[in-house]
Amino acid sequence: MGAIFRVKIIEAENLTETLKNMKKHKFKIASTSLSGAESIYETDFAKKVIVIGNESKGVSKEILEISDSKIKIPMLGKTESLNASIATGVILYEYVRRKITKA
């Protein structure tokens, strides 16, 4: 409980412009994609903004074009994708797991 008060959340009216501005501040943009070439287990999360797409359409083509990398969660069998909230949880868990193991 209360984690929401410790997480950096940015709300934006224009996501594309906000991400372009983040890039000017040396952040890299990583967008989730089923055709992503990079597993979340290979991703360096330092100074990275993670964009999670919705379940039906994923991340927009416009956002994918400005992304520095496309990432995916490796899956077994014929499963192609996860619910966006579950995918977010898995990716954030991997981020936190690495921070904990570095300490």
Q: Which sequence spans correspond to the domains of the chain? A: 3-102
pLDDT tens sequence across 14-46: 999 999 999 999 999 999 998 877 999 999 999
Q: What CATH fold (topology level) applies to the domain 3-102?
A: Alpha/beta knot (3.40.1280)
Sheet bearing 28-32, strands edge to edge = 38-39, 69-72, 28-32, 48-51
pLDDT band at 1 (very low <50, low <70, confident <90, very high): low
Mean pLDDT computed over 1-7:
73
Largest pairwise CA distance in the chain? 40
